[in-house]
Structure 1
Amino acid sequence: MSEAERQAATRQLDARHLACPLPVLRARKLLQGMAAGARLEVLATDPAARRDFPDFAETSGHLLLEASEPEPGLFRFLLERC
């Protein structure tokens, strides 16, 4: 999949104000329906997400391309489906 196709295939999940484990569960469900190489951007406010998404990526085999905190209390994760 080319970079342009990946960007076009990027989906977003707004998981702000959802408590653990809902952000990861919703991300898993969306990723299951996506093509290999597609990306999912997740926004979350639950502090547990900082630990949960790296663990999820490791155990599920998906790639965690980016994890950041663009503003205090807001966490952004970029996952790539494998």
Structure 2
Amino acid sequence: MPELTDITIDKEIDARGSFCPGPLMELIRGMKALPVGGVLAVLSSDPGSAKDIPAWIQKARHEYLGAFPEQGYTRFVVRKAH
């Protein structure tokens, strides 16, 4: 996995305080608006996102760049593959 400092994020969505499936739905909506090759980050404080978001990224066949823990939330980063 790359380091967060090595990744250029094109769009960031703050879904902190939103509960399942909110952060995942925000990710899906954001991906639709992003061009192929674009990088999206979703900030989530929901513990369920640690399972839901990577599973959806794999199923949708995008590139999972990682989950980066912050103070009280996690930044999930994905590159749109198609």
1:31 paired residue number: 31
Q: Give the CA deviation at 1:66.
A: 1.5
Q: Distance in 2 between matches of 1:41 and 1:68?
A: 10
Q: Which amino acid aligns with 1:26?
A: E
1:3 paired residue number: none
Aligned residues: CA RMSD:
1.5
Q: Distance in 2 between matches of 1:44 and 1:21?
A: 11
2:4 paired residue number: none
Which residues of 2 match residues 3-82 of structure 1 at below 5 A?
A: 7=8, 10-71=10-71, 73-82=72-81
Q: Which has the larger radius of gyration?
A: 1
Q: Distance in 2 between matches of 1:42 and 1:13?
A: 5
Q: Which runs of 4+ in 1 moved over 4 A?
A: none
Structure 2, unpaired ranges of 5+: 1-6
Q: Which amino acid aligns with 1:11?
A: K
The TM-score normalised by the length of structure 2 is 0.83
Tell me the alpha carbon deviations over residues 46-70 of structure 1, each in whole angstroms, 9 at most, x when there is no partner.
0001111110111111111021212
Q: Which amino acid aligns with 1:24?
A: L
Structure 1, unpaired ranges of 5+: 1-5
Q: Which amino acid aligns with 1:47?
A: P
Q: Give the CA deviation at 1:34.
A: 1.1
Count of matched residue positions in the alignment of Structure 1 and Structure 2? 75
Q: Give the CA deviation at 1:26.
A: 1.2
